[in-house]
C-alpha cells in the first residue's frame, strides 16, 4: 500500500487539528476537519501540489467544520459527514453564536459516511468507523498503521460527553470496540493535541481502561 503523508494544521482559537492527508505519488489529497483559517488550509493544499479529492469531517461540531464553506468556494466538493451529525451541522451558526464565535457560512453536505464505507485516496483505502459518544455521528478514518480519531480520544484524555447528543457510555464502548482492538503501534491523530498510540492509551489513559476479561 502506498504511504500517505499527514500534515497537522492546528487552527482557530480552540486549536482544532485540521489534517491534510496526501498521496504524493497520485498527487491527491483529503482535507479533514477544516475548522478555521481557510486561507491557511488552502495554502497548505497548494504547497502540497496535490488535487483535493474529498473534504471530510469526523463530526459536526463547529470547530471542525467552520471553514468548510470557504474551502468549497474554491473547491467544488461537498463536506462528507455521518447522517447522525447532520443536525449538528445545521445548527452550526447557532452554536457558534452561543459560544461567542463569529458565524460562518453553512457548508454543503453529503451525509454518506457510515460504518463500513471506504474512501479511496490514490492507492490507499481508508475505512470509516462509526464511533459515537462525543457526538452521535462521530467517525474515525483508519488505514494501515494509523487512524484519524477526531475528538473520540486524545493523548491521556477523551472527548467531552456533556454536549447535546454526547454519551460517555457510548464513547467508552466506541474506544474499546474500534480503537483498543488495533495493533499497539497504531498512530492515533486526534482532533486536539499531539498524536499518540493505541498502546500508550491502553496503558495510561485514565478515562477508558481496557476490559479485563475473566481467565
pLDDT reported for residue 2: 65
Indicate the burial class of 94 (C-beta count within 10 angstroms; 0-12, 13-18, 19 or more).
Answer: exposed
In the 8-state DSSP scheme, what is residue 142? E
Domain range annotation of the chain: 5-204
pLDDT reported for residue 142: 98
pLDDT reported for residue 211: 81
* Rounded-to-10 torsion of CA 190, 110, 88, 35: 40
Residue 212 has pLDDT above 80, yes or no: no
The topology under which CATH files domain 5-204 is Metallo-beta-lactamase; Chain A (3.60.15)
For 119, what's the count of Cα atoms within 13 Å in the CB-facing half-sphere?
28
* pLDDT tens-digit readout, 149-203: 999 999 999 999 999 999 999 999 999 999 999 999 999 999 999 999 999 999 9
* pLDDT tens-digit readout, 23-59: 999 999 999 999 999 999 999 999 999 999 999 999 9
State how far the alpha carbon of 150 is from the alpha carbons of 39, 105, 133, in Å. Answer: 22, 22, 12
* pLDDT tens-digit readout, 53-77: 999 999 999 999 999 999 999 999 9
Residue 1 has pLDDT above 60, yes or no: no
The answer to whether the CB of 99 falls within 8 A of the CB of 93 is: no
Report the distance separating Cα 3 and Cα 29, nearest Å: 13
The answer to whether the CB of 102 falls within 8 A of the CB of 74 is: no
Residue 215 has pLDDT above 60, yes or no: no
Region of 156 please: left (phi>0), alpha (psi -120 to 50) or beta.
left
- Answer with the residue of higher pLDDT: 105 or 2: 105
CA 13 to chain centroid: 18
Instruction: Name the β-bridge partners of 8.
Output: 19
Q: What is the mean pLDDT of the chain?
A: 96
Report the distance separating Cα 206 and Cα 213, nearest Å: 18
Amino acid at each position: 500500500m502506498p504511504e500517505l503523508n499527514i500534515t497537522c494544521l492546528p487552527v482557530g482559537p480552540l486549536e482544532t487539528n485540521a489534517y491534510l492527508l496526501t498521496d504524493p505519488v497520485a498527487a491527491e489529497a483529503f482535507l479533514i476537519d477544516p475548522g478555521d483559517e481557510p486561507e491557511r488550509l488552502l495554502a497548505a493544499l497548494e504547497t502540497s501540489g496535490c488535487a483535493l479529492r474529498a473534504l471530510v469531517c469526523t463530526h459536526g461540531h463547529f470547530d471542525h467544520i467552520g471553514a468548510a464553506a470557504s474551502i468549497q468556494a474554491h473547491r467544488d466538493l461537498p463536506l462528507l459527514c455521518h447522517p447522525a451529525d447532520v443536525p449538528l451541522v445545521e445548527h452550526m451558526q447557532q452554536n457558534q453564536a452561543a459560544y461567542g464565535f463569529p458565524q460562518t457560512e453553512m457548508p454543503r453536505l453529503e451525509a454518506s459516511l457510515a460504518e463500513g464505507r471506504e474512501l479511496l485516496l490514490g492507492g490507499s483505502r481508508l475505512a470509516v468507523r462509526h464511533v459515537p459518544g462525543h457526538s452521535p455521528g462521530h467517525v474515525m478514518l483508519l488505514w494501515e498503521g494509523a487512524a484519524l480519531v477526531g475528538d473520540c480520544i486524545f493523548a491521556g484524555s477523551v472527548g467531552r460527553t456533556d454536549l447535546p447528543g454526547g454519551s460517555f457510555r457510548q464513547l467508552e464502548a466506541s474506544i474499546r470496540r474500534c480503537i483498543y482492538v488495533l495493533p499497539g503501534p497504531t498512530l492515533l491523530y486526534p482532533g486536539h493535541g499531539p498524536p499518540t498510540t493505541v498502546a500508550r492509551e491502553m496503558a495510561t489513559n485514565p478515562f477508558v481502561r481496557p476490559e479485563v476479561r475473566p481467565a
